[in-house]
Chains A and B, each alone.
Chain A
Amino acid sequence: MKSFDVDRIREDFPTLSQLVRGKALVYLDNAATTHKPIQVIDSIRDYYNKSNANPHRGAHHLGVLATEMYEKARDKVREFINARSSKEVIFTKNATESLNLLAYSYGMKHVKKGDEIVICISEHHSNIVPWQKIARLKDAELKYLYLNDDYRLDMEEVYRKITDRTKIVSIAQMSNVLGTVYPIKEIVKYGHSKGAIVIVDGAQSIPHMKVDVRDMDADFLVFSGHKMLAPMGIGVLYGKEEILESMDPFLMGGDMIEYVEEQNTTFAELPHRFEAGTPNVEGAVGLAAAIDYLNKIGLDKINKYEEELTAYALEKLMGIPQVKIYGPKDLEDRGSVISFELEGCHPHDVSTIVDTYGVALRAGHHCAQPLMKFLKAPATSRVSFYFYNTKSEIDQLIDSLLKVRKWLGYGS
């Protein structure tokens, strides 16, 4: 693909051409989940047409085929994030399960009384609640990194909060509310210098930018397939091999064992030790197809195009005097998620009204209640773009926002 042809791209996404109450759908809730291209949908159909068997069990033809497809998908993910070995790629249900796995298998084992776990105030609940539990069980302290007035994180705050007692730093690379992209490489480096391991929640970053685990040197990276064109129900946990080796299993049962005796069990090698039970092969196959799709377009092109969209949307939104943006107002270190408040209009009403014009946006706390409290905003409206969105969709968003004010009885 030479230049970025968004009209051509949109033809691959059947859901996007739907009408909503007679109006063209304008889908701006991509931070929640993305739509799926026919290439991904076809890959799943193909898998069920040709294979459908439990991988790693039995030697029949279909089983061999399913194993091959599943392990190929794993290797595709390994290559996508530049992991050293596919032993370092564990399939889970989603980012949430990956984080829970880490809390139980790493946190329970390595966090001791008086230790610290450091996270950022903008974390998604999935990167807060498991750590609260570990901190409580282990009598450890859960500490928060706070943001500056620009909704960014100063390294001084990082130097202040991460100490010699910090065992785990867990932080999202990009906030699903503010769009802020955090200085992960520096945080990882500083965390390591204090003897902590660093977990990166890539749920919002991976779909939009090149993430190289070796370059960022993260100990763990988690993400969900459904936010990057793949089906729901497939997620990834990347971990450095030597650290994964030191961890206890999470879920136990079939597939994750080596020998089971009446009273004792030895566990399988990586990565299977952390994948108990029949896995989501269709999800893994769909994720591999999604990665192929993203690679075909190129993450650099995607990133550049989304930057244009974000710049356009920020400019248009800030042109409405009643709009207040929660998040960085320029493009430096920010992604394509924009949260805002429309003065006098509650986000629930905003989303109900724009929905009647076909515009899908998100209202509420976005699974980040501590952040909302920090921002002193009970709820915000949020738009989030993907590379299939267009400037004319942003125009429709702006038109519909102006109508919200009218519906709620304000002059203009």
Chain B
Amino acid sequence: MDLNQLYTELILEHSQNSENKGHLDHANCTERGHNPSCGDDITLELVCRGDIIEDASFTGSGCAISQASTSIMIDLIKGKSKEEAGELVNTFLSMIKKELNDYDKLEMLEDAVAFQNIGNMPARVKCATLAWHTLREAITKNQ
């Protein structure tokens, strides 16, 4: 994978100046996720009303990939139902594993398609998927 594809303006913007970073006043669901092997450590905060994720944010630290992936994911899931968010997680993870053939589904991921080729950098897959695994944990725990 080319560095040009990885460290794009979009990813740098999300990793360095994310509007989604910080605490939420009324979060009613938080979930921490970390990669012990590399030190990326994030905490998702969600405001859920009924089935809808009304707001979301994150705190923590990590590499540009993990931070940007978290921020882009948050943009994507705000206002979605838990079920829709769960579906997005599945789609993202299959995209990373290169198991996604359905282009309509790829479109659903919007900016998160930026991580499409991260599978070519096995050492960084965990960084890109951390937030998504964490979201899945949060949703399953709060069914």
* Cα(A353)–Cα(B121), bound, Å: 11
* Cα(A407)–Cα(B12), bound, Å: 9
CB of A352 within 8 A of CB of B62, answer no
Stretch of B38-46, B89-97, B100-108 on the interface side: B38-46
Chain B residues lying within 8 Å of A152, measured Cβ to Cβ, are none
CB of A364 within 8 A of CB of B39, answer yes
CB of A407 within 8 A of CB of B3, answer yes
CB of A352 within 8 A of CB of B6, answer yes
CB of A378 within 8 A of CB of B12, answer no
A321 part of interface (Cβ distance < 8 Å)? no
- By beta carbon, the residue of chain B nearest A406 is B7
CB of A407 within 8 A of CB of B7, answer yes
A198 part of interface (Cβ distance < 8 Å)? no
B28 part of interface (Cβ distance < 8 Å)? no
Chain B residues lying within 8 Å of A347, measured Cβ to Cβ, are 39, 63
Chain A residues lying within 8 Å of B39, measured Cβ to Cβ, are 347-348, 364-365, 372, 378-379
Chain B residues lying within 8 Å of A369, measured Cβ to Cβ, are 36
- By beta carbon, the residue of chain B nearest A350 is B63
A17 part of interface (Cβ distance < 8 Å)? no
CB of A356 within 8 A of CB of B7, answer no
CB of B6 within 8 A of CB of A379, answer no
Chain A residues lying within 8 Å of B64, measured Cβ to Cβ, are 346, 348-349, 408
CB of A378 within 8 A of CB of B124, answer no
CB of B41 within 8 A of CB of A378, answer yes
* Cα(A40)–Cα(B41), bound, Å: 42
A409 part of interface (Cβ distance < 8 Å)? yes
B142 part of interface (Cβ distance < 8 Å)? no
A359 part of interface (Cβ distance < 8 Å)? no
A window 214-267: CB within 8 A of B: none
* Cα(A363)–Cα(B64), bound, Å: 14
Number of interface residues of B (CB under 8 A): 22
Chain A residues lying within 8 Å of B62, measured Cβ to Cβ, are 346, 348, 378
CB distance from B14 to the nearest CB of A (A): 12
The 0/1 profile, CB within 8 Å of A marked 1, for residues 47-78 of chain B is 00000000000000111111000000000000
CB of A352 within 8 A of CB of B12, answer no
CB distance from B143 to the nearest CB of A (A): 32
Q: A346-B63, A348-B65, A349-B65 are in contact. Are A409 and B16 (CB under 8 A)?
A: yes
* Cα(A219)–Cα(B66), bound, Å: 46
Interface centre among A346, A347, A369, A372 (most CB of B within 10 A): A346
CB of A352 within 8 A of CB of B124, answer yes
CB of A356 within 8 A of CB of B38, answer no
CB of B37 within 8 A of CB of A364, answer yes
* Cα(A215)–Cα(B18), bound, Å: 57
- Which of B12, B36, B66 makes the CB contact (< 8 A) with A408? B12
- Which of A351, A365, A372, A408 makes the CB contact (< 8 A) with B7? A408
Chain B residues lying within 8 Å of A379, measured Cβ to Cβ, are 38-39
CB of A364 within 8 A of CB of B3, answer no
CB of A356 within 8 A of CB of B3, answer yes
A window 327-373: CB within 8 A of B: 344, 346-349, 351-353, 356, 363-365, 369, 372
- Which of B12, B36, B41, B127 makes the CB contact (< 8 A) with A348? B127
CB distance from A376 to the nearest CB of B (A): 11
Chain B residues lying within 8 Å of A409, measured Cβ to Cβ, are 7, 9, 12, 16
CB of A348 within 8 A of CB of B37, answer no
- Which of A352, A364, A408 makes the CB contact (< 8 A) with B121? A352
Residues of A near any B CB (own CB < 8 A)? 344, 346-349, 351-353, 356, 363-365, 369, 372, 378-379, 407-409
Residues of B near any A CB (own CB < 8 A)? 3, 6-7, 9, 12, 16, 36-41, 61-66, 121, 123-124, 127
**15 other contacts beyond A344-B16, A409-B9, with CB at 8 A cut-off?**
A346-B62, A347-B39, A348-B38, A348-B40, A348-B64, A348-B65, A349-B64, A351-B123, A353-B3, A364-B37, A372-B39, A378-B61, A408-B7, A408-B12, A409-B16
Q: Could you write out 26 A-B pairs with CB less than 8 Å apart? A: A346-B62, A346-B63, A346-B64, A348-B38, A348-B39, A348-B62, A348-B64, A348-B65, A348-B127, A349-B7, A349-B64, A349-B65, A353-B7, A356-B3, A363-B38, A364-B39, A369-B36, A378-B39, A378-B41, A378-B61, A379-B38, A408-B7, A408-B64, A409-B7, A409-B9, A409-B12
By Cβ-Cβ distance, the 7 closest A-B pairs, closest first, are: A348-B63, A346-B63, A379-B39, A378-B39, A409-B12, A407-B7, A349-B64
